[in-house]
């Protein structure tokens, strides 16, 4: 049986899925047709239920949970992993508590969890331009935008380019809730047979565990998609985004996701959920 599988080319995703798609583990008769896309493209594909299994932002998942169920494995949650709001003009750093509403913000997508966190911290910043996440730094350097909301490996490269951090929205979230930040999860189409859904969940957990047991096993695959990152930066990225929550969400992981969804409902950003978002439990 062949299933379509969407994830980003970022090191955390390629690290997680390497063993699965390259048959380093027993895939129990399943084959995977891989689709590489940035997270916002994957979000929109999920809205249209284009893929059997996909990575998406938790914010986006709130808008398509009736089509997909959240797997217990493969998610990206953690402490100290949140999006950063950055700028080229240092005066914005000094005025971080009074940022002008007219400032144009480059964001990695309307339905990203990063944009949701920006809306919580700075609800008045509504002048936004959607960009591919990897283009946000250059947009700031070329002064096409005033502020930039960065995610993924750009967290490690912005300062080298003369850009400045205004606020770490991850730290903001952690102080506000005491929870890990739910960034992205792996979901599966509810139309698939339950046995297939459970098998995929089990296989992704095995793939993550394989990667943890042999972290360099997927090095060539990770490098192939890592946008010229050094090996050191690649593994810094992986250490931030792949952790115990990627193996299994557990009680604390689910709590963090529930807090995010409850807050979104309270602020009127999403409709009340009609049923469980989880595959298991």
Binding residue ranges for substrate: 55-57, 113-114
d(CA 69, CA 53): 10
Share of the chain residues as helix, strand and coil, in percent rounded to the nearest 5: 45, 20, 35
Q: Which of 43, 32, 37 is CA-nearest to residue 7?
A: 37
Longest dimension (CA), the chain: 57
Q: Pairing relation of β-strands 53-57 and 164-168?
A: unpaired
**215: helix, strand or coil:** coil
Q: Which of 195, 194, 204 is CA-nearest to residue 54?
A: 204
Catalytic residue, chosen from 59, 92, 152, 237, is 152
Asked whether 281 and 251 are in contact (CB, 8 A), the reply is no
CB atoms inside a 10 Å sphere around CB 34: 12
Q: How far is CA 102 from CA 53, 109, 127, 145, in A?
A: 39, 19, 6, 11
Range list of H helices, the chain: 11-21, 39-47, 58-61, 91-94, 113-121, 136-141, 169-177, 194-213, 219-224, 231-241, 244-247, 250-266
d(CA 160, CA 150): 14
Is residue 44 part of the annotated active site? The answer reads no
**37: helix, strand or coil:** coil
Enzyme catalytic residues: 152
């Amino acid at each position: 049986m062949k299933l379509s599988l969407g994830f980003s080319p970022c090191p955390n995703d390629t690290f997680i899925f390497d063993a699965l798609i390259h048959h380093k583990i027993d895939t129990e008769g399943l084959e995977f047709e891989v689709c590489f896309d940035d997270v916002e493209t994957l979000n929109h594909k999920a809205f249209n239920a284009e893929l059997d299994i996909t990575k998406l932002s938790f914010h986006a998942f709130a808008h398509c949970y009736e089509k997909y169920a959240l797997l217990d494995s493969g998610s990206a949650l953690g402490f100290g992993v949140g999006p950063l709001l950055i700028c080229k003009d240092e005066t914005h750093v000094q005025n971080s508590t009074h940022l002008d509403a007219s400032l144009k913000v480059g964001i990695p997508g309307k339905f990203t969890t990063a944009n949701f966190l920006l809306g919580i911290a700075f609800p008045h910043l509504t002048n936004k331009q959607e960009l591919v996440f990897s283009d946000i730094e250059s947009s700031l350097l070329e002064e096409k935008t005033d502020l930039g909301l960065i995610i993924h490996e750009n967290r490690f490269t912005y300062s080298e380019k003369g850009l400045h951090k205004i606020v770490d929205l991850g730290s903001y979230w952690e102080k506000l809730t005491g929870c890990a930040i739910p960034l992205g999860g792996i979901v599966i189409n509810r139309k698939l047979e339950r046995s297939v859904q459970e098998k995929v969940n089990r296989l992704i957990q095995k793939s993550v565990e394989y990667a943890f047991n042999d972290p360099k096993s997927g090095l060539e695959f990770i490098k192939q998609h890592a946008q010229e990152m050094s090996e050191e930066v690649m593994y810094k990225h992986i250490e931030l985004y792949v952790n115990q929550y990627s193996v299994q969400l557990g009680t604390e992981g689910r709590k963090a996701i529930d807090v995010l969804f409850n807050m979104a409902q309270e602020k009127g950003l999403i409709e009340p959920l009609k049923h469980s978002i989880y595959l298991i439990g």
